[in-house]
Structure 1
Amino acid sequence: ITTEALAMAAQFHPAWRACTPTARKFHARNCYQVLGNDLKTPADFIVCWTPNGKQIGGTGQALRIAREYKIPVINFGSEDLLRSPMDELRKLVLGEGL
């Protein structure tokens, strides 16, 4: 985990000062998951599941980063998906967007 990833993670975490050093590394890891190994190559989209579609835990960290970088997210836990999550995923894979 680089100092760049740790600094980026700190920007997106609402309670960074309360995180242990290990938790900080886990949250920094999410930066790589969303923005690639160089922290400059955003994912095309994010597929996840969180309880009730909420931004919590490590996945919540990834979702905050994705929102900032305008990366589409399909959260299978979200109750407000108007269409089937599989339809949403198909559209993203085919490059049709959300």
Structure 2
Amino acid sequence: MIAADPGSFSLGSELTMMTYVERLEEAKAALRQGHLAIDFANVREMDSSAIAFMLECVRASGNKVVFKSLPNTLRGLVSLYGVTDLLKIS
């Protein structure tokens, strides 16, 4: 986890099957501390596990989390998997 503006946190450069568990633990800890925005600006490598990550963050936050700076490839996956309406994306 990388420090960001108050109320949000930034993910590291990779969100893949290999880093999913670690990133999810970081995100859940941040959500418990009141960080309700997850910033994807630093993410350079990802796979479809990013969708599972986002959905789990929604569940863990009680549907309060907002996702920021999604790369176009991830936006495409969100649309492809039909979960656009389940996620708050800014």
**Fold conserved (TM > 0.5)?**
no
TM-score under structure 1 length normalisation: 0.35
Structure richer in helix, relative to its length = 1
Normalising by structure 2, we get a TM-score of 0.37
Which structure would you say has the larger RCO, counting Cα contacts within 8 Å and 6 or more residues apart? Answer: 2
